[in-house]
Amino acid sequence: MLVLSDYPTEELDPSTPTPNLGSKVGIDATRKLPEEYGGKQYPEDAVTDPAVEGRVGAIVEEILRRWGQ
């Protein structure tokens, strides 16, 4: 991930606190080829524990239920 602070932005961007300066974020989410990763095996994708996924789902459902009242 790359974060650039105080980076030039569009002149008409109303979301920046300082005119003509803002922040940019860049994320490289590409899977590397073996020769790009120094010949090592690339790490496996992260997998969420089903119990955690179920608990988070229940919490979200409860929040949405309460918000809908």
Question: What is the structure's pLDDT at 54?
Answer: 96
Instruction: With beta carbons less than 8 A apart as the criterion, state whether 23 and 4 touch.
Output: yes
pTM of the model: 0.40
To the nearest whole percent, how much of the chain has pLDDT over 70? 99
Question: What is the structure's pLDDT at 69?
Answer: 63
| Per-residue pLDDT tens over the stretch 23-56 | 888 888 887 787 887 877 777 888 999 999 999 9
3-state class of 14 per DSSP? coil
What spatial distance separates the first Cα and last Cα of the chain, rounded to whole Å? 40
Question: What is the structure's pLDDT at 52?
Answer: 96
d(CA 28, CA 10): 23
Mean pLDDT of the chain: 84
